[in-house]
Chain A
Amino acid sequence: MSAKRVVTFTVNGDQVEILCEPRQSLLEVLRDDLDLTGTKEGCSNGNCGACTVIMDGRPVVSCLVLAVEAEGAELRTIEGVACGSTLDEVQAAFLEGAALQCGICTPGIIVQTEALLEENPNPTEDDVRFYLAGNLCRCTGYDKIVRAVQAAAEKRQVAASN
């Protein structure tokens, strides 16, 4: 076994320091060491997006990031999306629009949506579908997800213009 290392990064604004093996993925460390189990594991090869987190401003699949690579990084996970006890627009839109069924893909999709709206505050349906293509959902047929994303974008736009 190779030596464990100390890795330091921030998650949702909190600085954390963990001891991990190089072979541990960021996903594994978030879930097993930090008990941030909102980030889900669906495939472990980057094809489902359930483990999406935002790393230094970019969405990444945390199953394909080694925890040691996160040294110094700023991470945002699903647990950091709501503002205290208030849901953000995307979360609220998902609930109002019934955009989830089983809910296992939901954290990844919400995090990915946060990244999308950061980059493109007013996405077309095609923009949404392309940006979320790396997040598989097997329950909803995506219809209500796409609508919820657009509803959230609109709500945020209105809020920003007020």
Chain B
Amino acid sequence: MATAENPKYKVIGTRPIRHDGADKVTGRARYGADIQLSGMLYGAMLRSPHAHANIKSIDTSKAEALPGVRAVATSADLPEQGDRVVELGEGAANMRHLTANVLARGKVLYRGHSIAAVAADNIHIAEEAIKLIEVEYELLPPVMDVVGAMAENAPVLNDDIRTESVGSAPPAKDSKPTNVAKHFLFEKGDVAAGFAEADIIVEREFDTAMVHQGYIEPHNATVLWNTDGKLTVWISTQGSFTVRQQTAELLKIPISNVKVIPTEIGGGFGGKISVYLPPVAAVLSKKTGRPVKLVMSRTNVFEATGPTPGSHMKVKLGATKDGKLVAGEAWIAFEAGAYTGSPIGPACMCVFACYDLPHGRVEGFDVCVNKPRTNAYRAPGSTHVAFATETLVNEICEKIDVDPAEFRINNAAKEGVRRVDGPVYARVGMVETVEAIKNSEHYKTALEGKYRGRGIASGFWFNCGLKSAASATVNPDGTVSLLEGSTDIGGSRTGIAMQLAEALGITAEEVIPAVGDTDSVGYCDVTGGSRVTFATGIAAIEAAKDIQRQLVDRAAMIWEVDSSHVSYSDGGVHGPDGKQLSFKEMAAKLHGTGGAVIGRGTSSEATQGGAFGTHCVDVEVDVDLGKVQILRYTAAQDAGTAIHPSYVEGQMQGGAVQGIGWALNEEYWYDEQGEMRNSTYLDYRIPTCYDVPMIDTIIVEVPDPQHPYGVRGVGEVPICPPPAAIANAIYDAVGVRMHDLPMSPPKLLAEILKK
């Protein structure tokens, strides 16, 4: 497999120092909470101590009277939204739910649900003030279990939710409200006939707990509502344009009145797309005429942002005894949280995505429960279903005595295979990632030792295209200032700059990339869906081509020839009779040839092909404690073309370790009253560096024909395989099959003792 240096390219495949590196290792980089403005007030929010209650009354008078308090806000300060569904760039939302999630309206639907906010001279006064707000609640029974919430007699969270089904007639407005907000159904072939062909059928039920993205930087927003009615929002977000739109919609003001300045962002993984704080800070700023900063505590982040759902799944797979998958069926229920919006759709589309399945049926449900409204988390929905499918695949392999890598290769999704949800795959690299694992040193080295086991699993994610824009200005010294709108969570500005550099034939260091605010760059969708290096990369390449065209025209002017006789290649312009000028030489002539050269580029047409990964893990189980140690880990993934291999590896390693956390320990642990009892890093237990080994990576490169350099997004796939791979390794080690995430010590020990 090709890695690192790619002989086709000069810049792509190299490992330059990231452009924002110096700022980030010296502490100079400004993240959202680092914003300090003169006259700035500090805000704090009152949050519900109850999981489910009606709000009878709110009395803010004592808080308002506290010296140092400048303003108090409740949902009464936000406009009524009515029943409208708005497309927000990455997913649609019912505005009535969105505003109620920002500040509760008449009802709280989860512990931590925000109720009121205070702006004060300092954070301590603000926090004291929120304790003085008196709220009278009427407690309602909490609905915490996804299956229980679907029951006919379950308490209903939202009186305006009725089951919507893609392609079905809209539900009647006068029908009975339900917690089941959405229903999906996909079918391919004839499932009954498919299972009839099977020699072996395995069917299991799986549960996974709600988990959080766990980014280290808490949510924040600083807003100034100026006297001219214009708002400036400083925020760390995955999408400045979606923040602009959500904030404008929630405040019912024109988007042009909102300028979002994205700061550096301390992690997101899907959790920093929804808006929680900006409208609240905006209202407080409007009331006080001063900038207001809101920053969440870690417990707020856990209790009141958008974790990814817990699930209940029933999955069934059938195969012939010679190792051919013939049919699959899945029933998947996801916790939506308080309002609809879980990634159940993609989960349904991913459950059998790794395989060429002739017959399949998938049904999915989005179910409201008294937990925070869920959100995307790295390949949203795909990790849950990979846990189910990939453990069943290994169970089949064991029963028919086939090597699990071999089985995956024989049944792999590939070009021309029709998915259960309909579309047909273009060129994809599932086979290649399994082969990479099969041929790896890791897989070829026998694992020895008692209670040790090895497991493999694969995973899939679509990778989004969506919309991006970039502009690039040539500087007279031969460098290029690149402005793009994709907030940079993990080094993407360098990956984008490298593509511009490649296209212009200059070095990565000769590009100076920056992430612009919403008034200075063209519309960019969120940094999510593994789309930025792909789509914003295309926009940058388009900008480079625009620069090339302009430089060609200028060279033609200099050489007094027609532009058609000039071309751009190898880092410069070439004309008749061997005439040539390098990019640097052309840049030096800018001012004498017509002034600034600014290239513009957008991308919106392209859709990525999907990406696959296969992981291999060795574990050791302490059979007396039920505790699992990860001994060795190798991740293989199709990156299409790795732009900056170090950061591709980094995505694979980071995703794998998040997956390890999800597999072994992470969960929202609720008590009967619906209180999350482990809302700190101490008890939520994301992996520390003492919990994991080095994560070996194998970058597989099956170029995506839809990108000029063959890029495939890499951010999301690596979180999908770990839980299943680890479950398979645990089985190999101690003969126990786990169907419940996390596979925490008490649960694993209980299974071991049952044996």
The CA of A43 and the CA of B299, in the complex, are separated in Å by 8
Residues in B with CB closer than 8 Å to A31 are 33-34
Q: Output the least CB separation between B726 and chain A (Å).
A: 14
Residues in B with CB closer than 8 Å to A78 are 26-27
Whether A98 pairs with B18 at a CB distance below 8 angstroms is yes
Whether B689 pairs with A137 at a CB distance below 8 angstroms is yes
| Stretch of B6-14, B189-197, B432-440, B649-657 lying at the A interface | B649-657
Knowing A31-B34, A102-B215, A104-B217, say if A136 contacts B26 (CB, 8 Å): no
The CA of A147 and the CA of B695, in the complex, are separated in Å by 11
Q: Is B179 an interface residue (CB 8 A)?
A: no
| Stretch of B280-288, B500-508, B678-686 lying at the A interface | B678-686
Residues in B with CB closer than 8 Å to A137 are 216, 689
Using an 8 Å CB-CB cutoff, how does the interface string of A13-49 with B read, 1 for contact, 0 for none?
A: 0000000010110001001100111111111110110
The CA of A43 and the CA of B18, in the complex, are separated in Å by 27
User: B30 touches which one: A37, A41, A42, A140 (CB < 8 A)?
Assistant: A37
Most A CB contacts (10 A, CB to CB) among B33, B266, B694 go to B266
Q: Output the least CB separation between A158 and chain B (Å).
A: 20
Whether B26 pairs with A81 at a CB distance below 8 angstroms is yes
Shortest Cβ distance from B125 into A: residue = A1
Using an 8 Å CB-CB cutoff, how does the interface string of B314-342 with A read, 1 for contact, 0 for none?
A: 00000000000000000000000000000
Whether B17 pairs with A103 at a CB distance below 8 angstroms is no
Shortest Cβ distance from B718 into A: residue = A141
User: B216 touches which one: A28, A50, A96 (CB < 8 A)?
Assistant: A50
Residues in A with CB closer than 8 Å to B215 are 102, 104, 138
Q: Output the least CB separation between A68 and chain B (Å).
A: 14
Q: Output the least CB separation between B294 and chain A (Å).
A: 13
Whether A144 pairs with B653 at a CB distance below 8 angstroms is yes
Whether A32 pairs with B647 at a CB distance below 8 angstroms is no
Using an 8 Å CB-CB cutoff, how does the interface string of B16-28 with A read, 1 for contact, 0 for none?
A: 0110111011111
Question: For the complex, would chain B's binding face be called helix, strand, loop or mixed by DSSP majority?
Answer: loop
The CA of A102 and the CA of B282, in the complex, are separated in Å by 27
Residues in B with CB closer than 8 Å to A140 are 650, 653-654, 657
Whether B690 pairs with A130 at a CB distance below 8 angstroms is yes
Q: Is B514 an interface residue (CB 8 A)?
A: no
Q: Is A54 an interface residue (CB 8 A)?
A: no
Q: Output the least CB separation between B613 and chain A (Å).
A: 14
Q: Is A7 an interface residue (CB 8 A)?
A: no
Whether A37 pairs with B650 at a CB distance below 8 angstroms is no
Most B CB contacts (10 A, CB to CB) among A128, A135, A138 go to A138
Using an 8 Å CB-CB cutoff, how does the interface string of B625-661 with A read, 1 for contact, 0 for none?
A: 0000000000000000000101101110111111000
Residues in A with CB closer than 8 Å to B33 are 31, 37, 40-41
Q: Is B521 an interface residue (CB 8 A)?
A: no
The CA of A132 and the CA of B692, in the complex, are separated in Å by 12
The CA of A20 and the CA of B123, in the complex, are separated in Å by 13
Whether A38 pairs with B217 at a CB distance below 8 angstroms is no
Whether B36 pairs with A32 at a CB distance below 8 angstroms is yes
User: A43 touches which one: B298, B489, B490 (CB < 8 A)?
Assistant: B298
Within 8 A of B (CB), among A58-91: 77-79, 81-82, 87, 91
Q: Is A95 an interface residue (CB 8 A)?
A: yes
The CA of A47 and the CA of B650, in the complex, are separated in Å by 23
Q: Is A146 an interface residue (CB 8 A)?
A: yes
Residues in B with CB closer than 8 Å to A36 are 27
User: B694 touches which one: A91, A97, A146 (CB < 8 A)?
Assistant: A146
Shortest Cβ distance from A36 into B: residue = B27
Using an 8 Å CB-CB cutoff, how does the interface string of A98-114 with B read, 1 for contact, 0 for none?
A: 10111111110010000
Residues in B with CB closer than 8 Å to A44 are 297-298
Q: Is A94 an interface residue (CB 8 A)?
A: yes
Whether A101 pairs with B298 at a CB distance below 8 angstroms is no
The CA of A40 and the CA of B220, in the complex, are separated in Å by 13
User: A38 touches which one: B27, B653, B681, B692 (CB < 8 A)?
Assistant: B27
Q: Is B29 an interface residue (CB 8 A)?
A: yes
Whether B27 pairs with A47 at a CB distance below 8 angstroms is no
Whether A48 pairs with B216 at a CB distance below 8 angstroms is yes
User: B686 touches which one: A96, A130, A136 (CB < 8 A)?
Assistant: A136
Q: Give the number of chain B interface residues (Cβ < 8 Å).
A: 60
Knowing A133-B688, A145-B689, say if A102 contacts B490 (CB, 8 Å): yes
Q: Output the least CB separation between B656 and chain A (Å).
A: 6
Whether B27 pairs with A101 at a CB distance below 8 angstroms is no
Residues in A with CB closer than 8 Å to B298 are 42-45, 47-48
The CA of A144 and the CA of B653, in the complex, are separated in Å by 9
Residues in B with CB closer than 8 Å to A146 are 689, 694
Residues in B with CB closer than 8 Å to A101 are 267, 489-491, 647, 650-651, 654
Whether A141 pairs with B654 at a CB distance below 8 angstroms is yes
Whether A103 pairs with B29 at a CB distance below 8 angstroms is yes
Q: Is B15 an interface residue (CB 8 A)?
A: yes
Within 8 A of A (CB), among B266-290: 266-269
Whether A95 pairs with B21 at a CB distance below 8 angstroms is yes
- The count of A-to-B residue pairs whose CB atoms sit within 8 angstroms is 183
The CA of A107 and the CA of B31, in the complex, are separated in Å by 12
Whether A47 pairs with B25 at a CB distance below 8 angstroms is no
The CA of A102 and the CA of B527, in the complex, are separated in Å by 12
Shortest Cβ distance from B269 into A: residue = A138
The CA of A23 and the CA of B211, in the complex, are separated in Å by 33
Residues in A with CB closer than 8 Å to B216 are 40, 42, 48, 50, 102, 104-105, 136-138
Q: Is B218 an interface residue (CB 8 A)?
A: yes
Q: Is A156 an interface residue (CB 8 A)?
A: no
Knowing A47-B682, A106-B25, A146-B694, say if A138 contacts B214 (CB, 8 Å): yes
Whether A102 pairs with B657 at a CB distance below 8 angstroms is no
Whether A139 pairs with B654 at a CB distance below 8 angstroms is yes
Q: Output the least CB separation between A123 and chain B (Å).
A: 12
Q: Is B399 an interface residue (CB 8 A)?
A: no
Whether A98 pairs with B28 at a CB distance below 8 angstroms is no
The CA of A104 and the CA of B295, in the complex, are separated in Å by 15
Q: Output the least CB separation between A86 and chain B (Å).
A: 11
The CA of A139 and the CA of B650, in the complex, are separated in Å by 8
Whether A138 pairs with B686 at a CB distance below 8 angstroms is yes
Whether B22 pairs with A87 at a CB distance below 8 angstroms is yes
Q: Output the least CB separation between A37 and chain B (Å).
A: 4
The CA of A21 and the CA of B646, in the complex, are separated in Å by 45
Whether A102 pairs with B217 at a CB distance below 8 angstroms is yes
Q: Is B542 an interface residue (CB 8 A)?
A: no
User: A102 touches which one: B26, B218, B265, B689 (CB < 8 A)?
Assistant: B265
Q: Is B124 an interface residue (CB 8 A)?
A: yes
Using an 8 Å CB-CB cutoff, how does the interface string of B671-703 with A read, 1 for contact, 0 for none?
A: 000000000111000111110101100000000
Q: Is B264 an interface residue (CB 8 A)?
A: yes
Residues in B with CB closer than 8 Å to A23 are 124
Knowing A47-B680, A102-B217, A138-B686, say if A95 contacts B25 (CB, 8 Å): yes
Shortest Cβ distance from A109 into B: residue = B689
Most B CB contacts (10 A, CB to CB) among A31, A96, A97, A137 go to A137
User: B692 touches which one: A48, A81, A97, A142 (CB < 8 A)?
Assistant: A142
Whether B653 pairs with A82 at a CB distance below 8 angstroms is no
Whether B491 pairs with A98 at a CB distance below 8 angstroms is yes
Shortest Cβ distance from B217 into A: residue = A104
List 22 interface pairs A-B (beta carbons < 8 Å), by A numbering: A24-B124, A32-B36, A42-B266, A43-B298, A43-B680, A44-B297, A48-B298, A94-B21, A102-B264, A102-B266, A103-B24, A105-B216, A106-B24, A106-B25, A125-B694, A132-B690, A136-B681, A137-B689, A138-B213, A142-B687, A143-B649, A145-B689
Closest 7 CB pairs of A and B: A38-B27, A104-B266, A141-B653, A141-B657, A98-B646, A78-B27, A101-B490
Q: 18 additional contacts, CB 8 Å, given A138-B213, A141-B654?
A: A39-B27, A81-B26, A82-B26, A100-B21, A102-B216, A102-B217, A103-B266, A104-B31, A133-B690, A137-B216, A138-B658, A139-B267, A139-B654, A140-B650, A141-B656, A141-B657, A141-B695, A142-B657
